[in-house]
Structure 1
Amino acid sequence: MQLVIAALTERGADPASVAGLRVLPDAVATAAAAAAALGVEVGQIANSLVFDADGAPLLVLTSGAHRVDTAKVAALVGAQRVRRASAEFVYAATGQRIGGVAPVGHPAPLRALVDRALEGYPQVWAAGGIPHAVFPTTFAELVAVTGGEPAEVA
């Protein structure tokens, strides 16, 4: 969690995003659980999903209301094959466990796509590096702090 806070600060995130980081009493490993715990729409949850794109990690920040279309994502990034990464692959790429992967705070920056559907919400919530932590942010801030590319991923 401290790596996430440091990365957000270093990458110029709004101090309110950093200060808004919450540690919830229960793990929120799914978008539905996070939305229920926060009292927001499931679409406001920015899922940080790591995919294996021809052997390279690819971070897709998608609205909790969407399911990523891997064929569409493969075409967007010029990969032959994009598939869900194993837990070990995710941990090696991010240093974080599935269910708590944050958009930032990884050992090295990851190529990222940011779901344009998140742009429809004035505030979205992303994982803070552990399954119990979330922080408020915006679509624009996610694009900025990840160096991500806005994309239609569903």
Structure 2
Amino acid sequence: MNAPLPSSTQRAQRAADQLGLAIHVREMPQSTRTAEDAAAACDCAVEQIVKSLVFQGATSGEPYLLLVSGKNRVDQNGVAQSVGEALTRPDAAQVRAWTGYAIGGIPPFGHDTVMRTFIDHDLLTHSVVWAAAGTPQTVFSVEPNALAQAVQAVAISVS
């Protein structure tokens, strides 16, 4: 008999169900905390990994969620043009307060705080991408356009 999934993963699964995303969560024996680790565990290219990164508006203090390809680094100045304000990086405690998840396991949905969401154009070039499902060991695959639509993400260039 398989052990039940961690409670944070169960919460991510419920959020996916509420969004109408049919996902199958996989619990990996190794960490998927970094994009490189996740790509190795999922047997895919690093560019197919979705990094769920939380930024804070420098003026408004509002949280923003960026869904970024694992191969890309965020150009904060460039993204600020799309977001409408400069961005800063909040600390891990603030990210957890907004999302309800620890860094390294943040799924692209199901957060404690509603956030404007942006998706990296590069993710949309793949037929399948992989994202965290609530812990650094749980992941799921999804068609990126379906993900973008479900979370109402605006497609932007992030790098």
- Establish whether TM, by shorter chain, passes 0.5: yes
Shift of 1:85: 1.9
Whether the 8 Å CA contact 1:123–1:137 is kept in 2: the answer is: yes
Partner of 1:139 in structure 2? 144
Q: Tell me, what secondary structure is at the counterpart of 2:130?
A: strand
Question: Helix, strand or coil for the counterpart of 1:28?
Answer: coil
Which whole-Å deviations, capped at 9, do the CAs of 1:1-43 have from their partners, x for residues lacking one? 1111111111111x2x2xx210111221100000011110000
- Matched with 1:107 is 112
Q: How does 1:58-97 map to 2 (within 5 A)?
A: 58-79=64-85, 81-97=86-102
Give the length in aligned residue pairs. Answer: 149
Partner residue of 1:57? Answer: 63
Structure 2: give runs of 5+ residues left out of the alignment.
Answer: 1-8
Q: Do the aligned residues in 2 keep the contact of 1:114 with 1:142 (CA within 8 Å)?
A: no
Q: Which amino acid aligns with 2:16?
A: L
Distance 2:149 2:114 in 1: 12
Tell me if structure 2 keeps the 8 A contact 1:60–1:115: yes
Superposition TM-score, scaled by structure 1 size: 0.93
Indicate the RMSD between aligned Cα atoms, in angstroms. 1.0
Question: 5+ residue gaps in structure 1?
Answer: none
Aligned to 2:47: 43
Query: How many angstroms does 1:109 deviate by?
Result: 2.2
Deviation at 1:52, TM superposition (A): 1.1
User: What residue is the counterpart of 1:6 in the other structure?
Assistant: 14
Considering only CA atoms, is the larger Rg found in Structure 1 or Structure 2?
2
Q: Tell me the TM-score normalized by structure 2.
A: 0.90
Q: Which amino acid aligns with 1:21?
A: V
Q: Could you tell me which residue of structure 2 aligns to residue 129 of structure 1?
A: 134
Mapped partners of 1:11, 1:99: distance in 2: 22
Q: Which amino acid aligns with 1:47?
A: K
Using the TM superposition, name which of 134-143 and 92-101 deviates more. 134-143
In structure 1, C-alpha distance between the alignment counterparts of 2:94 and 2:147, rounded to whole Å: 22
- The match for 1:118 among 113, 117, 123 is 123
Flag as ranges the 4+ runs of structure 1 deviating above 3 A.
none
